[in-house]
Amino acid sequence: MEQYIELLKSNKIKVTPQRLAIVELMDVHGHISVRDIFAHIKANFPSLSLATVYKNINAMVESSFIKELKIVGQDAKYELIKEEHSHMICKNCGKVDDIILETNAIVTSASEISNYNIDESSVQLLGLCPDCQ
């Protein structure tokens, strides 16, 4: 709890119960959609408005401490920004898992081949998770 308060404060965002609930849920779930954030929090906090969730998520993305994850065939999900990592996505159940991979080689290679100045990469690996195989 204290950690979430600090996270918000260090990003100069006012601390409110709604915001704490959002970052806590994101931290626990790893990746979560707006729909799921709303459903989960609303259960224990009935006055919550969807508009508030949207406003806060947009503000947090703006402040660059959460980021949006777009996945083909799924709603956008949001996650707290921590160490850089890639995502594995199950084509059957939709589960998303983090994995830390060495992606420098790809970025370097792309920089050499093209004239782009690349400073960020997004790697998604699609397949079947252990449970769905």
Given its own copies, DNA, none, residue 130, with its beta carbon under 5 to 8 Å by kind, binds: its own copies
If one asks whether residue 58 binds DNA (CB under 7 A), the answer comes out as yes
For tokens 């918000």, what's the residue? Answer: 8
The binding track of 83-112 with respect to its own copies, each residue x by CB under 8 A or -, is: ---x-x-xx-----x-x-xxx-xxx-xx--
Residues 6 or more apart in contact with residue 7 via CB below 8 angstroms? 23, 65, 80
Radius of gyration of the chain from its Cα atoms, rounded to whole angstroms: 17
For residue 41, give both structure tokens. 């929090």
If one asks whether residue 49 binds its own copies (CB under 8 A), the answer comes out as no
Under 8 Å between Cβ of 38 and 56? no
Plot region of 37 (φ>0 → left; ψ -120 to 50 → alpha; else → beta): alpha
Given DNA, its own copies, none, residue 125, with its beta carbon under 5 to 8 Å by kind, binds: its own copies
Closest CB 109 distance from DNA, rounded Å? 33
Contacting its own copies within 57-76 (CB under 8 A): 67-68, 70-72
If one asks whether residue 49 binds DNA (CB under 7 A), the answer comes out as yes
Cα four-point dihedral sign 125, 85, 2, 8: negative
Rounded to whole angstroms, the Cα distance separating 102 from 105 reads: 7
Binding site for its own copies (CB under 8 A): 67-68, 70-72, 86, 88, 90-91, 97, 99, 101-103, 105-107, 109-110, 113-130, 133
Binding site for DNA (CB under 7 A): 9, 13-19, 34-35, 45, 47-52, 54-56, 58-59, 75-76
